[in-house]
């Protein structure tokens, strides 16, 4: 029996890419994270242009494999992944909807941008659990390149902050 | 199909813009290689801290910075290879070149010493890369500009982290002050080498790919003096300096570092995960 393979459209590619979760933060997709910059389709050949989040982020290798597997599964003949650096990835690309998802997942979403940060900043990040602001930074660096460690004095919980980039 | 191919060609062009002649290509290759080597060697040094940090948060911080630098190194190696249309991979450039072929500045190859020494080294170096990437992010070479804009975001985090530690240690106990002052005195020997230039830089300045590195030094010094003042530390009066990194002439420490880093590829050529 011959399987009917419908033509792949740009929209379909975006739709399936939007189903691929970030391996570190599975509640948001790689599209929502802003990694996928462009998609081109011709005769079921697909080209996906991506940009790295952090330079050394090990998740990039997972992204690439997931993209190839997913697109091959919907019938792509050839999948080419190109990397662009011409616009550096930034957390400013995260939509309010995505920030809400991060918060509900227990990660404080990025606030303002990193340009404004000064030495020994006493900036307060809102706790994703209790929404308290009596919080303090434990470390600028956390379990993945994109996160910092914080502590909430209101509910006495450590939490992670998706830092500005 | 044509549209698709045109698009592919367009993207390939973005990867290596043919904006200049062979001489400039070699200059750009060497310049990118130098940026990559600086990042790789410092990344390897910082990785030596893994599981040895003074506290868990610092263990995470140092290894995160190491990861950023490994990533930056990989991008600059890839771009260096693309510039001269070479098939060399980032892995080959990292693992199959010998000591004399490395162009990194001498500061980054120095052993970690204690935590104060590592933080001082990180502060002196990140202050330099922050200014360098700021300048390169305006380069007419769009790929170099893009890579630098990205590296700049990371350099700022590294600089903030290490500057805070230098200030904290300088104002801490007698012991911490003594150690961080010692680090400053020792590392000052390698400051001039960071700003060294050669004929590659001259060629790239003339075509607007880079700005004159000499312009960076006064800005760097101003920033460093401000941090050191807050940290109550004194710049050493010893004006000795050594240089040679840019020519591949290194201190004894680089050979030992490469020996460990390259062991696997040297012993088992072509080994893959
Ligand atoms: Zn809380």
Shared domain for A14 and A72, answered yes or no, is yes
A108 C-alpha to center of ligand 1: Å?
11
- Cβ of A84 within 8 Å of Cβ of B149? The answer is no
* B153 lies within 8 A of chain A by CB: yes
**Are the C-beta atoms of B115 and B54 separated by less than 8 Å?**
yes
Query: What value does the mean pLDDT of chain B take?
Result: 91
Q: Which residues of A touch B3 (CB under 8 A)?
A: 42
* B67 lies within 8 A of chain A by CB: yes
Provide the token pair at A127.
Answer: 């706790």
**Is pLDDT larger for residue B240 or for residue B22?**
B240
CATH code of the domain made up of B2-266: 1.20.1260.10
- Cβ of A139 within 8 Å of Cβ of B72? The answer is no
Answer whether residue A90 is part of any domain: no
Shared domain for A110 and A154, answered yes or no, is yes
- Cβ of B153 within 8 Å of Cβ of A88? The answer is yes
**Is pLDDT larger for residue B216 or for residue B10?**
B216
Shared domain for A71 and A124, answered yes or no, is no
Provide the token pair at A106.
Answer: 């227990």
How much is the average pLDDT of B229-248? Answer: 93
Residue A137 phi/psi, 5° resolution?
-80, 130
Answer whether residue A146 is part of any domain: yes
Query: What value does the mean pLDDT of chain A take?
Result: 90
Provide the token pair at B123.
Answer: 């502060």
On the question of pLDDT at B17 being above 70, the answer is no
Give this prediction's pTM. 0.90
Distance CA B215, CA B134 (A): 12
Shared domain for A17 and A61, answered yes or no, is yes
Answer whether residue A47 is part of any domain: yes
**Is pLDDT larger for residue B1 or for residue A101?**
A101
Q: Going by C-beta distance under 8 Å and a sequence separation of 6 or more, which residues neighbour residue B45?
A: B108, B109, B110, B111, B112, B118, B257
**Which pLDDT does position B11 carry in this prediction?**
45
Provide the token pair at B228.
Answer: 């050191």
Shared domain for A118 and A66, answered yes or no, is no
Domain ranges of chain B: 2-266
On the question of pLDDT at A1 being above 80, the answer is no
Distance CA B60, CA A149 (A): 10
Distance CA B258, CA B95 (A): 8
- Cβ of A85 within 8 Å of Cβ of B150? The answer is yes
| Model confidence pLDDT, tens digit, residues B149-190 | 999 999 999 999 999 999 999 999 999 999 999 999 999 999
pLDDT category at A85 given cuts 50, 70, 90 is: confident
On the question of pLDDT at A91 being above 90, the answer is yes
On the question of pLDDT at A40 being above 80, the answer is yes
| Model confidence pLDDT, tens digit, residues A106-156 | 999 998 765 567 888 888 899 999 999 999 999 889 888 899 999 999 999
**ipTM value for the complex:** 0.87
- Cβ of A145 within 8 Å of Cβ of B163? The answer is no
Shared domain for A134 and A79, answered yes or no, is no
* A123 lies within 8 A of chain B by CB: no
Number of H helices, E strands in chain B: 13, 0
Answer whether residue A100 is part of any domain: no
Q: Chains A, B: CB contacts under 8 A, how many?
A: 99
Distance CA A72, CA A60 (A): 18
Distances (CA, A) of A79 to A1, A15, A65, A66, A69: 25, 16, 11, 11, 9
Q: Residue A79: which CATH number?
A: 3.30.300.130
Range of the domain at A144: 106-162
Distance CA B89, CA B270 (A): 12
**Which pLDDT does position A113 carry in this prediction?**
65
- Which domain-ending residue is among A50, A83, A116? A83
Shared domain for A18 and A76, answered yes or no, is yes
A4: closest CA of chain B, how far (Å): 23
Check residue B54 and report its DSSP letter: S
**Are the C-beta atoms of B72 and B37 separated by less than 8 Å?**
no
Q: Going by C-beta distance under 8 Å and a sequence separation of 6 or more, which residues neighbour residue A155?
A: A127, A129, A130, A132
- Structurally, chain A folds into a number of domains equal to 2
Q: Which residues of B touch A57 (CB under 8 A)?
A: 67, 71
**Which pLDDT does position B1 carry in this prediction?**
42
| Model confidence pLDDT, tens digit, residues B194-213 | 999 999 999 999 998 998 87
| Model confidence pLDDT, tens digit, residues B105-150 | 999 999 999 999 999 999 999 999 999 999 999 999 999 999 999 9
- Cβ of A140 within 8 Å of Cβ of B69? The answer is no
**Are the C-beta atoms of A112 and B102 separated by less than 8 Å?**
no
Shared domain for A27 and A78, answered yes or no, is yes
pLDDT category at B218 given cuts 50, 70, 90 is: very high
């Amino acid at each position: 029996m011959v399987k009917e393979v419908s033509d792949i459209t740009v929209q379909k590619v975006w739709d399936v890419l939007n189903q691929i979760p970030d391996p570190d933060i599975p509640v948001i997709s790689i599209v929502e994270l802003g990694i996928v910059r462009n998609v081109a389709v011709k005769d079921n050949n697909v080209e996906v242009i991506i940009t790295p989040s952090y330079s050394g982020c090990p998740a990039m290798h997972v992204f690439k494999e997931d993209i190839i597997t997913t697109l091959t599964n919907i019938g792509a003949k050839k999948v080419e992944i190109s990397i662009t650096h011409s616009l550096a990835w930034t957390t400013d690309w995260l939509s309010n909807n995505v920030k809400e998802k991060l918060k509900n997942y227990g990660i404080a979403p990025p606030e303002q941008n990193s340009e404004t940060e000064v030495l020994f900043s006493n900036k307060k990040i809102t706790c994703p659990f209790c929404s308290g602001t009596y919080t303090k930074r434990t470390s600028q660096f956390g379990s993945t390149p994109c996160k910092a460690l914080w502590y909430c004095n209101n509910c006495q919980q450590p939490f992670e902050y998706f830092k500005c980039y | 199909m044509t549209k698709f191919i045109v698009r592919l060609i367009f993207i390939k062009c973005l990867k290596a813009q043919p904006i200049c002649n062979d001489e400039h290509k070699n200059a750009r290759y060497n310049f990118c290689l130098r940026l990559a080597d600086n990042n790789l060697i410092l990344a390897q040094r910082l990785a030596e801290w893994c599981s040895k940090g003074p506290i868990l948060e610092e263990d995470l911080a140092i290894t995160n910075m190491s990861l950023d630098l490994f990533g930056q190194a990989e991008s600059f190696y890839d771009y260096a290879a693309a510039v001269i249309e070479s098939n060399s991979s980032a892995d080959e450039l990292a693992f199959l070149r010998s000591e004399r072929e490395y162009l990194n500045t001498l500061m980054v190859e120095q052993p970690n010493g204690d935590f104060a020494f590592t933080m001082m080294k990180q502060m002196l170096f990140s202050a330099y890369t922050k200014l360098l990437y700021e300048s390169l992010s305006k380069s007419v070479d769009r790929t170099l500009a893009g890579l630098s804009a990205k590296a700049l975001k990371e350099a700022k985090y590294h600089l903030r982290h290490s500057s805070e530690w230098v200030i904290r240690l300088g104002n801490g106990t007698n012991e911490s002050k003594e150690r961080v002052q010692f680090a400053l005195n020792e590392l000052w020997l390698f400051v001039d080498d960071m700003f060294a230039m050669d004929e590659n830089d001259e060629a790239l300045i003339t075509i607007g790919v880079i700005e004159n590195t000499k312009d960076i030094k006064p800005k760097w010094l101003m920033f460093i003096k401000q941090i050191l003042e807050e940290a109550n530390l004194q710049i050493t009066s010893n004006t000795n300096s050594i240089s040679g990194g840019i020519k591949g002439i290194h201190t004894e420490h680089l050979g030992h570092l490469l020996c460990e880093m390259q062991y696997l590829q040297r012993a088992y050529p072509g080994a893959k995960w």
